[in-house]
Amino acid sequence: MTRFALTLEFDGTPFMGLQRQAHGPSVQQAVEEAITRITGENVVMFAAGRTDAGVHALHMRAHVDVEKDIAPFRLMEAMNYHLRPDPIAVTHACVVADDWHARFSCLGRSYIYRIANRRAPLTLEANRAWQVHQPLDAEAMHRAAQALIGLHDFTTFRSVHCQAASPVKTLDSLNVRREGEWVIIDTAARSYLHHQVRSMVGCLALVGMGRWRVEQMAEALAARDRGALGLNAPSSGLYFDRAVYPEEE
């Protein structure tokens, strides 16, 4: 049995999320079925994180155990062939130790959120960004974001369906910058609550629009109440960026 670590890139638009779902297609299902067609084996894919319906990934790490004797490059090439036409690509594959785990060995995860701040409709970027027509003050958004850095109870920014044992998380970074008509938010932490990133981004957008004061981010956090949430950003602008492992620090 060989354990392969995979790096996946995918457009989440047609999927119900990364994990297998009873009510629709998932990235996990597509990957596992591709490997079954290659090896004849029923495999289970484990990933560094979960993504909701419509969320994308740039470098999602995952692993699978395969009995067939196959080189990593050949597995990657075969998977990319069998994954078509699904918008999923395996960009890297390698053999790892039997105790390496895509989820449990992971030390940190980073996400990127993209806001298209313009009036004209999105064409090439449709379903791959959140379009906000009203001008956004990215500098004010960044100042507000700093109130969330560190160890906090993030109940306000937690989905009511979140299954985490505790709402307490440590946010390592949350940065906002403007690149032309784009407002980019990037964040890093060991782990996140369900909908945490989208909830933080939605409230930051309210600050950028001038509907919230900069100080209201800290007030919403301190409320520890989902009712204090101003806005939950849509899934289309969210990208799982990277997972960090001990050997990669």
* Catalytic residue IDs: 52
Ramachandran class of 235: left when φ > 0, alpha when ψ lies in -120 to 50, beta otherwise: alpha
Nearest to 201 by CA among 129, 107, 152, 150: 129
The owner of tokens 């785990």 is 101
* SS3 state of residue 11: coil
The owner of tokens 């313009």 is 118
Distance CA 176, CA 92 (A): 29
Main-chain phi, psi angles of 84, to 5 degrees: -65, 145
The residues near 63 (Cβ < 8 Å, ≥ 6 apart) are 3, 4, 5, 6, 45, 46, 96, 100, 101, 102
Largest CA distance in the chain: 59
Q: What torsion do the CA atoms of 171, 173, 178, 184 make, to the nearest 10 degrees?
A: -50
Main-chain phi, psi angles of 4, to 5 degrees: -110, 130
